[in-house]
Chain A
Amino acid sequence: MSESRPKPPRARRRDLVVEQVADETLVYDLERHRAHCLSATAAWVWRHCDGATDAAALAARLGRTLGRDADEEVVRVALHRLARARLLEDPLPPLRARSLRSRREALKRVALLGISVLSIAAPAAGQAATCITRAACEAFPNGNPRCTGQPCCDVAGKFCRSQGCGQTCCCHV
């Protein structure tokens, strides 16, 4: 029986805020409140995921754009990184099991092409805003998007959060 061909990858567009800063593409996921930084090459792959072009065709186009060899394996690794960051619409089939050596070779080629998808850590909330009082923090129901870690004014070293609290947000470390 022949193996069914995987669907060509489609970039996710909804609930994302995309900002170009110098040669980096920054993406904020409004649904999961995660931020990602795509290198120029990773962003190129992501932008060309139109749901019609498969990995092999993407690799050929990428190679032409960069003027360097870009094989399908390299594009697959890039797609998996994008998928892990939830920047593709559909899940991808797992990467084929390969020898450690060939996998290492592929990762080396990925690095040489500068394909990276980094998660950006949110800075300590102290930088975000003026502090919030404990009472104001506890007035928000747990899970309210406003409990984003603003520093609590009257509780030193604690921040208004949802995690580790009861029914309402609370000042927590």
Chain B
Amino acid sequence: MRRLSAGRGIAGVVAGAWRAEPSPLPWSEEFAALVPLLVRGGVGALAWQRIRRSEPAPSSRLRELQDAYRFNALQAAVHRRALRDVAVALQAAGIAALLGKGWAAACLYPEPGLRPPGDIDLYVPGGDVPAARAVLEDVPVAIDLHAGAAELDDRPWDDLIEHSDGIAADGVEIRTFGREDHLRLLALHMLRHGAWRPLWLCDVAAAVESASDGFDWDRVRGGDRRRADAVAASLKKSSGRVSTARPPRCARAVCPAGSLRPSSSSGAIRDWSRRAGAGPSPPTWPGRPRPWPLSSDAGRTPWKPP
């Protein structure tokens, strides 16, 4: 049997795993070897979601995937509780904040245990950062406070607020980016960091597939031209890697036939990564190649919006 590369193996395991009823995946020794990479890549629970449906015999490797799922579910509950306090504190201080990535991305999945909520990414206007930092000092979870939404700063902050959505965290509403802006943010963030985490591809795929009627694809592809290209490239990369079926609305609206040839997709990724300068480089995968071959390695200069 041909040996799978780590990247292909991971892609095969997580393909479609974010859906409510993913196809079962039979457990094999080859997958057992991928477990550490799946867990480190943040997709251990997604792998469990598919593998458990084939009712495999218990093993320690499987337990790692199941524990990732359990741990995510608990972390999501801890974050929900913390977010309630965060929302109340920010509202009391009169600070308009938007939640993105992490916990907000986890809401795109059918169950909270499927995606690690990571840290809490809060976006506030640059001028409100010191006040927000003071308000959030005592919150006992990791909060990544962003001064504005750098990836989306081709749009005025007020516009992002106007298009924002509300999600409930333990009975308190917290604002998150509108669906279109959030997809754009996830796509650009993924490229900014060189698309090294399989989880980010799944986030983008889950966001694309959750786009229902009324989803404004023009808003996704609008704005700065380079970013629009980068978003389209990111969507294409995600649909090529982990999602076998490209959503038709996406195919029509964002990735119209012929508008993105394979070479121009890589070109857009390179272009965006170079201009974005990328944030911190990803941790290396000890003893193994990165699961996703990169079009461009992330640079090490501080990120500046292109």
Give A contacts to B, CB under 8 Å: 17-19, 21, 24, 26-28, 30, 35, 37, 120-124, 126-133, 145-146, 148, 150-154, 156-158
A-B contact pairs, 13 of them (CB 8 A): A17-B74, A17-B81, A19-B73, A30-B140, A120-B67, A123-B39, A123-B67, A123-B68, A126-B41, A127-B44, A129-B116, A130-B119, A154-B281
Q: How far is B281's CA from A131's CA once the two chains are assembled, in angstroms? A: 8
Given contacts A26-B77, A129-B144, 17 further A-B contacts (CB under 8 A): A17-B77, A18-B77, A19-B77, A26-B73, A28-B75, A121-B64, A123-B67, A127-B42, A128-B116, A128-B118, A128-B119, A130-B118, A130-B119, A145-B141, A152-B283, A153-B279, A154-B280
A124-B36, A126-B41 given; A21·B283 CB < 8 A:
no
Judging by beta carbons under 8 Å apart, are A156 and B283 in contact? yes
Q: In whole Å, how far is A157's beta carbon from the nearest beta carbon of chain B?
A: 5
Contact digits for B101-115, partner A, Cβ 8 Å, 1 yes 0 no = 110000000000100
Beta-carbon nearest neighbor of A158 in chain B: B283
Q: In whole Å, how far is A20's beta carbon from the nearest beta carbon of chain B?
A: 9
Within 8 A of A (CB), among B1-56: 36, 39-44
Q: How far is B113's CA from A123's CA once the two chains are assembled, in angstroms? A: 13
Q: Which residues of A contact B36 (CB under 8 A)?
A: 124
Judging by beta carbons under 8 Å apart, are A129 and B142 in contact? yes
Q: In whole Å, how far is B222's beta carbon from the nearest beta carbon of chain A?
A: 26
Q: How far is B42's CA from A156's CA once the two chains are assembled, in angstroms? A: 17
Judging by beta carbons under 8 Å apart, are B280 and A123 in contact? no
Judging by beta carbons under 8 Å apart, are A24 and B70 in contact? yes
Judging by beta carbons under 8 Å apart, are A131 and B116 in contact? no
Judging by beta carbons under 8 Å apart, are A124 and B40 in contact? yes
A21-B113, A150-B142, A153-B281 given; A127·B74 CB < 8 A:
no
Q: How far is B40's CA from A126's CA once the two chains are assembled, in angstroms? A: 5
Interface centre among B75, B118, B142 (most CB of A within 10 A): B142
Q: Which residues of B contact A121 (CB under 8 A)?
A: 64, 67, 71
Q: How far is B39's CA from A124's CA once the two chains are assembled, in angstroms? A: 7
Judging by beta carbons under 8 Å apart, are A153 and B280 in contact? yes
Q: Interface size of B by Cβ–Cβ distance < 8 Å?
A: 39
Judging by beta carbons under 8 Å apart, are B281 and A157 in contact? no
A127-B39, A129-B142 given; A19·B284 CB < 8 A:
no
A129 CB contact (under 8 Å) in B44, B118, B286: B118
Judging by beta carbons under 8 Å apart, are A127 and B283 in contact? no
Q: Which residues of B contact A154 (CB under 8 A)?
A: 280-281, 300
Interface of A is mostly: loop
Q: Which residues of B contact A28 (CB under 8 A)?
A: 74-75, 77-78
Q: In whole Å, how far is B170's beta carbon from the nearest beta carbon of chain A?
A: 11
Q: In whole Å, how far is A16's beta carbon from the nearest beta carbon of chain B?
A: 10
Q: How far is B144's CA from A150's CA once the two chains are assembled, in angstroms? A: 12
Q: How far is B142's CA from A26's CA once the two chains are assembled, in angstroms? A: 21
Q: How far is B284's CA from A138's CA once the two chains are assembled, in angstroms? A: 20
Within 8 A of A (CB), among B69-115: 70-71, 73-78, 81, 101-102, 113
Judging by beta carbons under 8 Å apart, are A156 and B119 in contact? no
Q: In whole Å, how far is B15's beta carbon from the nearest beta carbon of chain A?
A: 18
Beta-carbon nearest neighbor of B63 in chain A: A121
Q: How far is B140's CA from A145's CA once the two chains are assembled, in angstroms? A: 6
Judging by beta carbons under 8 Å apart, are A37 and B70 in contact? yes
Within 8 A of A (CB), among B258-306: 279-284, 286, 300
Q: Which residues of B contact A145 (CB under 8 A)?
A: 140-141
Judging by beta carbons under 8 Å apart, are A127 and B81 in contact? no
Q: How far is B101's CA from A99's CA once the two chains are assembled, in angstroms? A: 56
User: Does chain A have a CB within 8 A of B195?
Assistant: no
User: Does chain A have a CB within 8 A of B179?
Assistant: no
User: Does chain A have a CB within 8 A of B149?
Assistant: no
Judging by beta carbons under 8 Å apart, are A127 and B199 in contact? yes
Q: Which residues of A contact B227 (CB under 8 A)?
A: none
Q: How far is B284's CA from A129's CA once the two chains are assembled, in angstroms? A: 15
User: Does chain A have a CB within 8 A of B193?
Assistant: yes
Q: How far is B280's CA from A153's CA once the two chains are assembled, in angstroms? A: 6
Q: Which residues of A contact B102 (CB under 8 A)?
A: 129
Q: Which residues of B contact A127 (CB under 8 A)?
A: 39-44, 68, 116, 199
B282 CB contact (under 8 Å) in A26, A27, A153, A158: A153
Interface centre among B73, B74, B118 (most CB of A within 10 A): B74
